[in-house]
A and B are shown apart, each in its own frame.
With several copies, the nearest count.
Chain A
Amino acid sequence: MTLTILYFAWVRERIGASEEAVDLPQAVATPRALAAWLAERSPGHRAALSDLARIRVAIDQEFADLDASIAGAREVAFFPPVTGG
């Protein structure tokens, strides 16, 4: 399964990329598992995604829980709590 991963704000800065396409092992079924799997990719990924208390997630452009299912998703985004307005 190929998934688009998006990063915003300091998550993006630490990883050094705003977007990547990944081929996901079937065992990775939630944003929490996905973050742990992505953290192996580089020190930047690890720095960005190790403290999940500071991370929020959207699945296919909807806010989602870290333990939601990503089965069938096309796009998952990781970012800090929002600060607009």
Chain B
Amino acid sequence: MIAVAVRQAPFSIDAALAPLEALGGGAIASFVGLVRGDDAVETLTLEHYPGMTEAALRRLAEEAAARWSLLGATIIHRVGPLRRGERIVLVAACAPHRRDALDACAYLIDRLKTDAPFWKRETRGEEASWVEARAADDDAAERWR
């Protein structure tokens, strides 16, 4: 089971994982990315490439499902303006046993950072700036190749 979604509205983790929990596996690993509260950023605005984004996320989930024999994988990514502490992204993998689920979950978020067409703009007071890509993210994605 592969499910991907790009949406503005908040999402529930329980609701997002429910379809994976119905697959009969013993292990679900998930990762939630949040707007951090550790600097002066007030709003993070996510832009994406409609059409390409969904295809890129689906391919990513399918690659993970094939590589680790998953029962299912889910990716939800929000777009639009988000405030501190809000959820940006959820990736989750369901497998019979935990090692596959844990590894696939790490793979999904590492690869999503470099392979899905999203862009973040930060707003601090009156000032807005586009977030720069991080070399560390390229390195993290590279280790799965």
Tally of B interface residues using CB under 8 Å: 28
Binary interface encoding of chain B residues 114-127 relative to chain A, with 1 for a CB under 8 A from any of its CBs, else 0: 11111111000000
Indicate the member of A6, A61, A82, A85 with the most B CB atoms within 10 Å: A85
Contact call A9/B52, Cβ cutoff below 8 A: no
Chain A's nearest CB lies how many Å from the CB of B95?
15
Chain B's nearest CB lies how many Å from the CB of A58?
6
Our pick among B55, B77, B130 for the contact of A84 (Cβ within 8 Å) is: B77
Contact call A79/B119, Cβ cutoff below 8 A: yes
Cα distance, A82 to B57, chains bound together (Å): 13
Cα distance, A8 to B47, chains bound together (Å): 8
Given A9-B47, A58-B117, A63-B115, is A83 in contact with B133 using a C-beta cutoff of 8 Å?
yes
Judged by a CB distance under 8 angstroms, whether A66 is at the interface is no
Cα distance, A77 to B131, chains bound together (Å): 19
Q: Which residues of A contact B89 (CB under 8 A)?
A: 84-85
Contact call B49/A84, Cβ cutoff below 8 A: no
Our pick among B55, B109, B118 for the contact of A83 (Cβ within 8 Å) is: B118
Judged by a CB distance under 8 angstroms, whether A43 is at the interface is no
Residue of B nearest to A12 (CB): B47
Q: Which residues of A contact B46 (CB under 8 A)?
A: 84
Cα distance, A10 to B47, chains bound together (Å): 11
Known: A82-B118, A84-B119. 13 other contacts (CB 8 A): A8-B47, A9-B119, A61-B51, A61-B55, A77-B117, A79-B117, A83-B119, A83-B131, A84-B46, A84-B48, A84-B113, A85-B33, A85-B137
Q: Which 3 A-B pairs have the closest CB atoms?
A: A84-B118, A81-B133, A61-B52
